[in-house]
Structure 1
């Protein structure tokens, strides 16, 4: 892949746009994969059409939407096998005791962006509102779940299409007060090995709004879609594999504060810290569940958290480099 050496980050050597090769299929496995694909395809099409054309428009509530989405994930045997949350010992997560360490209403989920499964899984767990961010804008664009899925197959976008209104996070929160917001701050898909520069839209979140970095990792990794337009290859990989596993990592929330909320000594007011959500230990003591930062430190902290929990490296390549990479890739590869 020396041809694409200019799309490797100079500091880390990571190439975040190259697809990760899948394990070769043996002649023994091939009949099984064909059987699974053709067995699952009509069922998968049926459950997807049922949800996106009918069920999502019915008053079935959050629980009904989540159940429908889990049916979609269940057809190709996508299993959630591991969840780790910062500050919570593995195997001891209690939704009530640690609810402040998990995204909820009034919070923002800054998620990694590697696959169409990202949006479906997050919708099935959190029932959020999806928004699209852009590298040169502090505002976002509202997305439906279907649009968020299609965005994972689309090429990198510098700005929204003409005529599409852009709003800030505060407006989205006012329209959907009981739901979290999911944003993919890298603005385009990667292969999960690098974290791209983040959109400045995260700087436009209302003060005191918790931002939860979330990273999703897949086994096998060939369900990732760093190359635009690979609809058929993704569908084949998704439906012909016996099973797929998701590992979810949720970092400690980041809370930004405005300058006026800082004390004259440079420390944050105790009264403000008292208003932050805190978790209670088994011995009754309290521990802070958020990292409180100046606005100009939010992007750096979120990016570092995404890199840490996703076991990736921060890279200097962004949307513009991805655009150039896609042009070069299409000259020598047929995307299907």
Structure 2
């Protein structure tokens, strides 16, 4: 739309903050969605509570994503490894003492990332930079809420500022270096680059990786906070798209946290880097304009 041309990447024309609408459904389709939600919601509550309390394993997270949310599968690949070599791919899945840079596209990202990990969710932490470049620690639930936060500032007062990795020994750390979500068509400028790269100093026991997430259809991404968490959950439980899927590609790096290498990894997986002007603050301005136009 011409009204939003100021928020397109000048080189590619990509508009990373533009929401992607889902395909409209007829009365029969909406009725089927409602029946699915009514049938799935009690199962979701039981399984999710069990996941949080007694079964914090990747297989349970995978069940939630694939079976209850209607994604056909979570396909995991590793750079330089053939898909058929499943044991080699599995060996590179994120695990203890891994620090992984990931693109940030939706509230379901933390659950997807837990579903591909070699550790339980209790040993997974998420770091997100704010618009000042400081890194903060989030739980999976906190990262999901942050994906729908209307502000670039930290959405949760309980977040803790992070300056080193020593507290994460034997843990798995995911970093959403963009600091905010996009519509999964590009990579936004990384926030807090000095803080992120500084984490690796003196921490040679950690392995550094990049995971590139691709979610389809793009209507499940949340580049703008236009949904509530309950509304987003409804759309997941009501998902009847036969083309829904998740792909996660893992890249392992040899030397510390290298955000240049991470960006190249994303680009090699068909996520284009947009200009530095399309950052968190630009997204806030776009959000404000979008709401005015849609009134």
Asked if residue 94 in structure 1 is aligned to residue 83 in structure 2, the reply is no
Asked if residue 218 in structure 1 is aligned to residue 212 in structure 2, the reply is no
Alignment of 1:275-286 (within 5 A): none
C-alpha displacement of 1:156: 4.2
C-alpha displacement of 1:251: 2.0
Asked if residue 205 in structure 1 is aligned to residue 199 in structure 2, the reply is yes
The whole-number CA distance in structure 2 between the counterparts of 1:163 and 1:67 is 29
C-alpha displacement of 1:26: 3.7
Rate the CA distance shift 1:164–1:153 in 2: closer, same or farther, 3 A.
closer
Q: Which structure 2 residue ranges, 5 or more long, are not aligned?
A: none
Asked if residue 152 in structure 1 is aligned to residue 113 in structure 2, the reply is no
With structure 2 as the length reference, what TM-score do the two structures score?
0.83
The whole-number CA distance in structure 2 between the counterparts of 1:299 and 1:125 is 22
* Residue equivalent to 1:37: 37
C-alpha displacement of 1:140: 2.0
The whole-number CA distance in structure 2 between the counterparts of 1:115 and 1:23 is 18
Higher CA-based Rg? 1
Rate the CA distance shift 1:4–1:23 in 2: closer, same or farther, 3 A.
same
The whole-number CA distance in structure 1 between the counterparts of 2:286 and 2:251 is 30
Matching residue within 178, 186, 196 for 2:170: 178
Rate the CA distance shift 1:303–1:155 in 2: closer, same or farther, 3 A.
farther
1:274-314: CA deviations, max 9, x gaps?
xxxxxxxxxxxxxxxxxxxxx7xx222211212222x1210
* Residue equivalent to 1:255: 255
Rate the CA distance shift 1:195–1:93 in 2: closer, same or farther, 3 A.
same
Matching residue within 212, 227, 235 for 2:233: 235
Alignment of 1:1-336 (within 5 A): 1-48=1-48, 50-51=49-50, 56=52, 58=53, 60=54, 64-73=56-65, 74-95=67-88, 99=91, 101-126=92-117, 127=120, 128-137=124-133, 139-158=134-153, 165-173=160-168, 177-199=169-191, 200=193, 201-207=195-201, 208=204, 209-231=206-228, 232-242=230-240, 244-256=244-256, 298-309=258-269, 311-316=270-275, 317-333=278-294
Q: Which structure 1 residue ranges, 5 or more long, are not aligned?
A: 257-294
